[in-house]
Amino acid sequence: HFGFEDGLSEAEKTERVAGVFHSVAESYDKMNDLMSFGWHRIWKDHFVSSLNPGLSPHNPPTPQNILDVAGGTGDIAFRMLHHAHQVNANPDVSVTISDINTSMLAVGKQRSLSLPASQQAVLSFQPADATVLPESFKPNSFDLYTVAFGIRNFSNIPQALREAYRVLKPGGVFACLEFSKVGNPLLNAVYKRWSFSGIPLVGQLVTGDRDSYQYLVESIERFPTQEEFRDMIVDAGFVVGGDGYENLTGGVAAIHKGMKP
């Protein structure tokens, strides 16, 4: 066990997380399928269609500028480009994949080579720490900020939310897909058993790296509840609709959204 919260500075936490993802980058995509029984694909598809990237009432369609933070190997960014091009026939949607980890970005770049040329042309990669986004990400410059299965790893979540707020345009949307809390006690018991025993074991068998997967499970456990996280989003200045979140698979994952007024 990494003892993540045991007196580590933010810089040390960030460094540990970097270590975890450097060691899992190559096996990351395969492990996602194994750990979630393929569910992560369904959640990601749902997340992206709920955001409907590229939707525009105008002809020609309005350009959109999207930032996918902790974008890793590109799962969300690639889905958004596909959706914008195929569903909304809007080729004028640019997506920046940013991630603190260059190993994850390198795998993403390699994967992006199999995208259609029109999608590769509007995709860019930018190493960045979500809690201190680079100067090149100007205030009020993005229409949509996405973060999927990334925010629980950030050393300072309120600061990352403030950065999201800063770079979004007024009317721009913050959208997060993250593991969350399961309400049903029976489902929760099954889920806990799988995550605390199954996932580290599969990590050990497939990658020889039990500790990284143990860390991932513990970071899910420490992440706030749906309501607590929604309140953090509101505290950062965002406006939320309804409950401010949507549970997926009984709360195994949840989508949170907020709009910058």
What residue ranges bind ligand SAM (CB under 6 A)? 14, 17, 21, 69-72, 75-76, 99-101, 104, 129-131, 148-150, 153-154
Strand order in the sheet with 253-259: 123-127, 93-99, 64-69, 142-148, 168-179, 253-259, 245-248
Q: Shortest Cβ distance from residue 176 to ligand SAM (Å)?
A: 10
Q: Shortest Cβ distance from residue 40 to ligand SAM (Å)?
A: 7
Helix axes 75-82, 39-51, angle to 10 degrees: 50
Of 117 and 191, nearer to ligand SAM (C-beta) is 191
Of 74 and 258, nearer to ligand SAM (C-beta) is 74
202: its two tokens: 């599969």
Q: Shortest Cβ distance from residue 220 to ligand SAM (Å)?
A: 10
**Cβ atoms 149, 104 nearer than 8 A:** no
Of 36 and 226, nearer to ligand SAM (C-beta) is 36
Q: How many secondary structure helices (H) and strands (E) does the chain include?
A: 11, 7
163: its two tokens: 């950065």
Residue nearest to ligand SAM (CB): 72
Q: Shortest Cβ distance from residue 192 to ligand SAM (Å)?
A: 19
Of 90 and 153, nearer to ligand SAM (C-beta) is 153
Q: Shortest Cβ distance from residue 80 to ligand SAM (Å)?
A: 11
**Cβ atoms 97, 125 nearer than 8 A:** yes
Strand pairing report for 64-69 and 245-248? unpaired
Of 128 and 233, nearer to ligand SAM (C-beta) is 128
Amino acid at 144: L
